[in-house]
């Protein structure tokens, strides 16, 4: 049981949780994640500690309200409540090396996973530029990143109310690829790193590939246990089947079988929508 010390909405559909989890705080390294279970009948979801204090024993999680579990958390959890389970740290830390000039990209709430990595790379002597492309009302951690890396660029994309959600998301993808193209054309980078939806990662990778710049990605396949015992998160990397939770989550973008990864991330779309609808119905029903 892990106490929520702070909870606030820091942007549209983005909630900040500062949670007491000393066992994770004392060990976590940039690139690692946790698996949490917030409710007794809840599922296990992977999240990334964004900040931590080893001595005081807290971690910060920033959660994008995406489906039933994250929405339940936003709606039902209050400061002072407890999260039932936080397992971690899990996965491998990203390599802490001097790469040189790094472009670290976070699409949507992916920027919160970029934050601890970019910060640590910068502290190690790398020249890090971070780029956050997201919808205008969803910009997060702007000041924190400005204080942590050489340069932080925010590319807010307005939400067009006349377009449906997929069309709006395509606008983000477009801005992402255009911006990355522009930046790579203007200046040289030694490494590109990206966190975001698999489709956007592939789109950006296709741009980066043209310039021949090395690229690393944090992958987000479906996870259940996060400890290597089920293989739900399997991905093909360099022709071999890997488990993202124990072999990753960071991989070489040039080695990832993108089509397969994108297909696998959509396996539960219908059931996820059903879970969400049931929850919305319950919320509405509760008030009547």
Partner 1 sequence: MARAKPKLIKERVPTPEVPVEERVRSFVEVNLGYDFASALKEAERCIQCPPEYAPCIKGCPVHINIPGFIRALRENPDNPDEAVKNALRVIWNDNTLPAVTGRVCPQEEQCEAPCVMGKVGEPINIGKLERFVADYARKHGIEEALLREFMGGNGGMKGKVAVVGSGPAGLTCAGELAKMGYKVTIFEALHKPGGVLIYGIPEFRLPKEILEKEIAKLRELGVEIKLDYIVGKTVTLEELLEEYDAVFIGTGAGTPKLLNIPGILLDRIYTANEFLTRINLMKAYLFPEYDEPIAIGKKTIVIGAGNTAMDAARSALRLGTEVTIAYRRGREDMTARIEEIQHAEEEGVKFEFFVNPVEFIGDENGKVKAVKFEKMRPLDERDSRGKRKIVGTGEYITLEADTVIIAIGLEPNRIISEEATGLKTNSDGTLVVDENLMTSIPGVFAGGDAIRGEATVILAMGDGKKAAKAIHNYIQAKKANA
Residues forming contacts to partner 1 in the complex (CB under 8 A) are 23-24, 27, 32, 37, 39, 41-44, 68-69, 72, 84-90, 224-225, 227-232, 234-236, 241, 246, 257, 260, 263-264, 267-268, 270-272, 274-275, 278-279
Residue 84 annotated as lining a ligand binding site: no
Contacting residues for 119 by C-beta, under 8 A, at least 6 apart: 30, 145, 148, 149
Residue found under tokens 């920033």 = 62
81 versus 260: smaller Cβ distance to partner 1: 260
Residue 271 Cβ vs partner 1, minimum distance, rounded to whole Å:
4
Annotated binding residue at 252?
Answer: no
As measured in angstroms, the least distance from the Cβ of 70 to partner 1 is 11
**End-to-end Cα, the chain, rounded Å:** 32
Question: Does the annotation flag 203 for ligand binding?
Answer: no
Q: How far apart are CA 224 and CA 222, in angstroms?
A: 7
Instruction: Return the number of other C-beta atoms located less than 10 Å from residue 67's C-beta.
Output: 17
CB 245 to partner 1: min, Å = 10
153 vs 230 by CB, closer to partner 1? 230
Closest alpha carbon to 139 in 119, 109, 166 = 109
- CA dist 234 → 6, 217, 218 (Å): 34, 15, 14
- With respect to partner 1, which residue has the nearer C-beta, 124 or 263? 263
**Residue 247 φ then ψ, to 5°:** -95, -20
Least CB distance to partner 1 at residue 62 (A): 20
**Minimum separation from the CB atom of position 44 to partner 1 (A):** 7
CA atoms of 189 and 192, how far apart (whole Å): 7
The annotated binding site for [2Fe-2S] cluster is made up of 230, 233, 245
Binding residues: 230, 233, 245
């Amino acid at each position: 049981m892990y106490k929520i010390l702070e909870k606030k909405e820091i942007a549209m559909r983005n909630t900040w949780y500062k949670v007491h989890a000393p066992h994770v705080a004392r060990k976590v390294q940039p690139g690692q994640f946790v698996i949490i279970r917030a409710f007794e009948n809840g599922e296990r979801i992977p999240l990334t500690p964004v900040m931590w204090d080893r001595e005081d024993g807290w971690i910060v999680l920033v959660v994008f309200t995406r489906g039933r579990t994250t929405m339940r958390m936003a709606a039902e959890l209050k400061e002072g409540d407890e999260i039932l389970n936080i397992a971690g740290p899990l996965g491998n830390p990203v390599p802490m090396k001097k790469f040189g000039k790094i472009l670290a990209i976070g699409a949507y709430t992916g920027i919160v996973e970029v934050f601890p990595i970019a910060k640590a790379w910068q502290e190690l002597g790398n020249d890090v530029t971070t780029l956050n492309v997201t919808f205008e009302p969803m910009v997060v951690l702007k000041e924190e990143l400005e204080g942590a890396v050489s340069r932080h660029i925010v590319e807010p994309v307005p939400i067009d109310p006349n377009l449906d959600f997929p069309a709006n998301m395509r606008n983000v993808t477009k801005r992402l690829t255009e911006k990355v193209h522009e930046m790579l054309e203007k200046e040289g980078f030694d490494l590109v790193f990206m966190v975001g939806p698999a489709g956007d990662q592939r789109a950006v990778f296709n741009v980066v590939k043209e310039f021949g710049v090395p690229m690393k990605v944090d992958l987000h396949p479906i996870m259940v246990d996060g400890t290597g015992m089920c293989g739900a998160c399997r991905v093909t990397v360099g022709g071999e089947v890997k488990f993202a939770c124990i072999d990753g989550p960071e991989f070489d973008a040039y080695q990832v079988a993108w089509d397969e990864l994108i297909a696998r991330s959509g396996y539960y779309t219908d059931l996820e929508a059903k879970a969400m609808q049931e929850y919305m119905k319950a919320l509405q029903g509760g008030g009547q």
